[in-house]
Amino acid sequence: MDALFIEFYHNTGFYLWDYRYLIMIAVGLVFVYLGIAKDYEPLLLVPIGFGILMGNIPVFQGLGLSIYEDNSVLHYLYFGVTQGIYPPLIFLGIGAMTDFSTLLARPILMLLGAAAQTGIFITFLGALALGFAPNEASSIGIIGGADGPTAIFLTAKLAPHLIGPIAVAAYSYMALVPVIQPPIMRLLTTRKERLIRMEEPREVTKREKIIFPIVAFLLCCFLAPAALPLLGMLCFGNLLKEAVVTERLAQTARNSLIDTATILLGVTVGASTQGDIFLVPSSIGIFALGALSFGIATASGVLFAKVMNLFLKSKINPLLGAAGVSAVPDSARVVQIVGQKEDPTNFLLMHAMAPNVSGVIGSAIAAGVLWSLMAS
């Protein structure tokens, strides 16, 4: 009987533990805390945080428990991440939630979304300089797109072994948008610039809204076909929303489907951060480069807005440039908060949504471009 107890004890987490698992469990708890207590992206941080806890219970090999064992349940669920299935489903839901009206009313703001993607390519160079392989550098650079599903999708295609650190970095920085962006925005703008009021946008017709996803999809995917899975689903979701006659499908896409995909993606990405695999020097490099990427993306958007103002008659508030990173709608909300600190009667949120949603399109195009360049 003693032997049975000892054998059982050898299979418990108390016997198999390693300090790396404990560190990751602490990280998971921080994520859950930030999500629940601080309300930082709770829909993402809580599933990822709990997934980290699930992935860092020390288990013995052979029973099919670890996410990295072929016959485990978590491994099957993780298939949706490694094969890039969940991100397009999430994009379908995002499309069904997004209102492109402000973008259609003032298309020039789309350029801010493009400018913010510069961060991706500058970080790509930084990652190469730090010794990462081009495939890995591309996956790290895309963190600057501030778009979790896009980052996971591209990493699944180019550097599947880095999905854990890249997903955690991307989602962590997305949750920290209210902390990272404001100092950069204030540093790069004057008070006078932050006080600029935007013109009221024109009203957009229903027909424009219906045509937009079709035109955007055809145009962008002809240019960057590798963006098809993400942009296709984003535009399709938006068409379902705007077409009205497909409201039932749009409802499903924006509620049950996106929630299911987010839960599965969050938990499995979290579970993939197994201490012995996750806590390696390259993860620290990825986190550092991710922060850099985010900062550069924000700065590029703000600076580009200032450059645009040199040529525009009707000036735009350069804070809007920060919304070019596609953390929807957090970065737009940050623009509103920073703008209102200077002038409480200045409402920038609606205007900031234009670069924000164009950032989603821009980062998907950037992912497509990187994927096709790396594949070729």
Residue number with CB closer to another protein (83 or 314)? 314
Q: Which long-range contacts (CB under 8 A, 24 or more apart) does 208-212 make?
A: 208/104, 209/99, 209/100, 209/101, 209/104, 209/242, 210/239, 210/242, 210/243, 212/100, 212/104, 212/238, 212/242
Residue number with CB closer to another protein (194 or 209)? 209
77 closest CA partner among 63, 90, 66: 66
Rounded to the nearest whole angstrom, what is the least distance from the CB of residue 138 to another protein in the complex?
A: 8
Interacting residues with another protein (CB under 8 A) = 103-104, 107-108, 110-111, 113-114, 117-118, 120-122, 124-125, 128-131, 133-134, 137, 199-200, 202-205, 207-208, 211-212, 215-216, 219-220, 223-224, 358, 361-362, 365-366, 369-370, 373
Tokens of 23: 């560190």
Is residue 253 within 8 Å of 92, Cβ to Cβ? yes
DSSP tag of 227 = G
Residue number with CB closer to another protein (178 or 201)? 201
Rounded to the nearest whole angstrom, what is the least distance from the CB of residue 88 to another protein in the complex?
A: 19
| Cα–Cα distance for residue pair 52/71, rounded to 1 Å | 20
Rounded to the nearest whole angstrom, what is the least distance from the CB of residue 253 to another protein in the complex?
A: 23
| Cα–Cα distance for residue pair 334/177, rounded to 1 Å | 8
| Cα–Cα distance for residue pair 349/211, rounded to 1 Å | 24
Residue number with CB closer to another protein (134 or 160)? 134
Residue number with CB closer to another protein (7 or 203)? 203
Residue number with CB closer to another protein (6 or 133)? 133
Rounded to the nearest whole angstrom, what is the least distance from the CB of residue 343 to another protein in the complex?
A: 19
Is residue 185 within 8 Å of 298, Cβ to Cβ? yes
Residue 22 one-letter amino acid: L
Rounded to the nearest whole angstrom, what is the least distance from the CB of residue 329 to another protein in the complex?
A: 19
Residue number with CB closer to another protein (44 or 308)? 308
Is residue 155 within 8 Å of 170, Cβ to Cβ? no
Rounded to the nearest whole angstrom, what is the least distance from the CB of residue 366 to another protein in the complex?
A: 5
Rounded to the nearest whole angstrom, what is the least distance from the CB of residue 226 to another protein in the complex?
A: 11
Residue number with CB closer to another protein (81 or 216)? 216
Rounded to the nearest whole angstrom, what is the least distance from the CB of residue 191 to another protein in the complex?
A: 25
Rounded to the nearest whole angstrom, what is the least distance from the CB of residue 63 to another protein in the complex?
A: 42
Residue number with CB closer to another protein (117 or 336)? 117
- 329 preceded by a cis bond (ω within 30 of 0): yes
334 closest CA partner among 179, 213, 165, 109: 179
360 closest CA partner among 234, 208, 180, 210: 234
Phi-psi region of 260 (alpha: psi -120 to 50; beta: other; left: phi over 0): alpha
Rg of the chain over all Cα atoms, to the nearest angstrom: 21
